[in-house]
Structure 1
Amino acid sequence: MTSDLTADQTAFRDTARAFSDAELAPHAAHWDEHHVFPREALQKAAALGFGGVYVREDVGGSGLTRLDAAIIFEELARGCTSTTPFLSIHNMASWMIDNFGHDDLRRHHLPDLATMRRVASYCLTEAGSGSDAAALKTRATRDGNHYILNGAKAFISGGGVSDVYVVMARTGGEGPRGISTFLVEKETPGLSFGAQERKLGWHSQPTSAVIFDDCRVPAENLIGIEGQGFKIAMAGLDGGRVNIAACSLGGAQFCLETTLAYVKARRQFDQPLADFQALRFRLADMATELMAARLMVHRAARLVDAGDSERTSAVAMAKRLATDVAFDVANQCLQLHGGYGYLRDFPIERVVRDLRVHQILEGTNEIMRVVIARAMLGG
């Protein structure tokens, strides 16, 4: 970790690490093997303030910063690199309600979301509009005191399990200015879910399509104003990308720490693996790259906290670098374990599977390059 943490941030880190070691790491393999969604563990995390990390305190949130959140999520991801990203998504959706929702909406929903008695999902992606999110087709049509939603969202973390869905739908014409944001509750008539997706990793969180078929949503569940939805979605993703980068660092740091112990104990050619200079150099490079990525993630978090005009490109840089570096480090750690690294009896292969999707979600790393280049060159 960096040495410039405040006393409070050090306390957050230590609390998150202790919780991760006690409540996540011992169960992560079981959750992965049996596809368990650990709601009880999430509620225990929420009892420590991790269910609404940067939600305001008047509705039960912790009122912390994005940097605080990055520190917390990295430590939690050391214990489970599948469950922690769901917690990040829940926090992102909750923040969008807190930051853009009207006061009655905030006070009605956020206390239960902060305790994780209820959990939230973020619904932007569609089968026909992944990276081109502004081309989404889900439609919301005003009908008196309701909006009627029709369409479907794809690859939604928490699909079928979450109680609240923050949904981007088109209320106007084509393009980003025609998109609005809605809060849709699980019990709403016309809301249904596809089959659970069969995934490489992230087995402790459900993923499915979310389907709207004449789904009647009260008009007061509009978050923000009509036409503001794409800006709300992108604002949420600035923080979400910092979080997923931090989760990546946590998973990779766990792999590195596990590998350091392994190479000290494992002997070949009458000496510990740790005595081979080539392996020592590889481990040194991994530690260096992780630290560089961590510093970039923390800088991006500070810029988001400050509302800096360069925050979106800084976040894209951090997300791209951290997720690429983390996957590479975890993959190298698997290699250093040899055949054992490929077995499910050892935890490295699970983390490798979980980390792979981090290069895709919250905006692919190719889209991160688009965002960075646009900030540099315009267009």
Structure 2
Amino acid sequence: MKLNDEQREFQSLARLVSERQLAPLAPLADVEDGFDRDAWEVLREHDFVGLAIDEEHGGLGRGVVTGSLIIEELARNHASVALCFLVPYIFAAALADSDDLAARYLPKLASGEALGAFLLTEPGSGSDAASITTRAELNGDSYVVNGTKHFITNGDVADLGLLYARTGGPGGSGISAFVLEMDTPGVTIGRHEQKMGLRGCSLVEVRFENARVPVINLIGQEGTGLRVALTGLDFARVLVASLAVGLAQGALDMALEYAKGREQFGRPVTSNQGLQWLIVDQQMAIAASRELALEAARKVEEHEPDALQYASMAKAFCTDMCMQVTTNAVQIFGGYGYLRDYGVERMMRDAKILQIFEGTNQIQRIAVARSIMGRE
């Protein structure tokens, strides 16, 4: 995909920031297993956190293509903080038609003063988002919310949340969306999950016990919440695809640099044709994935008819590729790849969840199949 001058400038800046400021933070964040505040402050320092939010609300107003370029560069060295880059895009998409809520909350997200969380997943509903049971009952000028959300990224440090709760009957048409202030009485943080990867951000349970959310914080109309959630997920899937590309590229670059300096049987290991072909195959897979991810981003940004199909294809294809490339990067390091000293094992652990969250890759294939069959 051909980039314009501004996009190339953003890409170059993000790569520099990633290499110089984020790379040293990633190993420590992996050990500490919690939100990497220092890395987040780096994103704030360079105005990346407001990229998705329009200028009227204090952001830079750049589209998902530019966002994809930036998240790829961030993920080369620190996938956990790159994941935080998704949330402003999801909020911006959710509040696009809600002028009052946008005016009240987007400036805080654009400046990085507030962190956001996406409150959809529940213990009994993962891929089947339409089956959520958290309930929001209208009571005067508020909705009273009861229920439990889990696997909420950075829910313990978030200031704002996009909350999805049932206001009507069963199915997707009974779900509504709200902007939640996380310090609302009745909102508590439960279990902190111990994760295999992406340990530079937290993953928690969020509980609601008679928490009151003002009526004015309802996004759109009652019953439109699932549509709001799916719109945000379309943006998220494209960005996750580019995150996967960056993570894979970072792991392969690290493995190649290591291989260039290693000798076995009296000659450089890079002289082995088997290794050369392995590296070439991985680079070809990354290059193909990058083009698919950027094309999906362009289609989503320009609201093309097949944008959702491409978002699902990019998410599935790029994250499967990332798992393969990071696994092979560990193999290239040999026994050293299994040690924490070199970082590729962290990248391999980070890669696995990309195939699962924001809609499993099996669900993405179902979505693509339906899109293809529907045109026949």
1:336 Cα deviation from its structure 2 partner: 0.7
What does residue 264 of structure 1 align with? 260
Task: Note the residue ranges of structure 2 that are not aligned, 5 or more in a row.
Answer: none
Whether the aligned pair in 1 keeps the contact of 2:244 and 2:351 (CA below 8 Å) is yes
Q: For residues 70 and 126 of structure 2, what CA distance do their matches in structure 1 show?
A: 29
CA deviations over 1:168-221 (Å, ceiling 9, x no partner)? 111111111111101111110111111210110111111111111111001111
- 1:319 aligned onto 2:315: yes
Q: For residues 233 and 74 of structure 2, what CA distance do their matches in structure 1 show?
A: 20
Q: For residues 362 and 139 of structure 1, what CA distance do their matches in structure 2 show?
A: 22
Q: How many residues align?
A: 375
Within 5 Å, which residues of 2 pair with 1:77-96? 77-88=75-86, 90-96=87-93
CA deviations over 1:71-125 (Å, ceiling 9, x no partner)? 000001112012211222x22343135414x323222211121121110000111
Which residue of 333, 337, 341 corresponds with 1:341? Answer: 337
CA deviations over 1:231-286 (Å, ceiling 9, x no partner)? 11001011100111111111110111111111111100111111000110111110
Which residue of 303, 309, 313 corresponds with 2:305? Answer: 309
What does residue 135 of structure 2 align with? 139
Instruction: Tell me the TM-score normalized by structure 1.
Output: 0.96
Within 5 Å, which residues of 2 pair with 1:4-83? 4-83=2-81
Q: For residues 208 and 282 of structure 2, what CA distance do their matches in structure 1 show?
A: 45
- 1:158 aligned onto 2:154: yes
Whether the aligned pair in 2 keeps the contact of 1:148 and 1:215 (CA below 8 Å) is yes
Whether the aligned pair in 2 keeps the contact of 1:118 and 1:163 (CA below 8 Å) is yes
Q: For residues 266 and 45 of structure 2, what CA distance do their matches in structure 1 show?
A: 50
- Superposition RMSD on alpha carbons, in Å? 1.3
1:43 Cα deviation from its structure 2 partner: 2.9
- 1:210 aligned onto 2:206: yes
Whether the aligned pair in 1 keeps the contact of 2:94 and 2:229 (CA below 8 Å) is no
Q: For residues 233 and 359 of structure 1, what CA distance do their matches in structure 2 show?
A: 19
Whether the aligned pair in 2 keeps the contact of 1:56 and 1:98 (CA below 8 Å) is no
- 1:174 aligned onto 2:170: yes
Q: For residues 198 and 136 of structure 1, what CA distance do their matches in structure 2 show?
A: 24
Which residue of 256, 272, 278 corresponds with 1:282? Answer: 278
Whether the aligned pair in 2 keeps the contact of 1:165 and 1:183 (CA below 8 Å) is yes
CA deviations over 1:298-348 (Å, ceiling 9, x no partner)? 110011011112111111000000000011001001001000000000110
Within 5 Å, which residues of 2 pair with 1:236-251? 236-251=232-247
Percent sequence identity over aligned pairs:
38
Amino acid at match of 1:95: A
Instruction: Tell me the TM-score normalized by structure 2.
Output: 0.97
What does residue 368 of structure 2 align with? 372
**SS at 2:79 equivalent:** coil
Structure 1, 79-88 or 239-248: larger mean CA deviation:
79-88
1:47 Cα deviation from its structure 2 partner: 3.4
What does residue 233 of structure 1 align with? 229
Q: For residues 206 and 305 of structure 2, what CA distance do their matches in structure 1 show?
A: 34
CA deviations over 1:59-78 (Å, ceiling 9, x no partner)? 11111111111000000111
What does residue 108 of structure 1 align with? 104
Q: For residues 234 and 50 of structure 2, what CA distance do their matches in structure 1 show?
A: 17
* Segments ≥4 residues shifted beyond 6 Å: none
Q: For residues 95 and 50 of structure 1, what CA distance do their matches in structure 2 show?
A: 14
1:6 Cα deviation from its structure 2 partner: 1.0
Whether the aligned pair in 2 keeps the contact of 1:73 and 1:250 (CA below 8 Å) is yes
Which residue of 346, 357, 371 corresponds with 2:353? Answer: 357
Whether the aligned pair in 2 keeps the contact of 1:55 and 1:98 (CA below 8 Å) is no
**SS at 1:152 equivalent:** strand
**SS at 1:121 equivalent:** strand
Which residue of 184, 189, 194 corresponds with 1:188? Answer: 184
1:36 Cα deviation from its structure 2 partner: 4.1
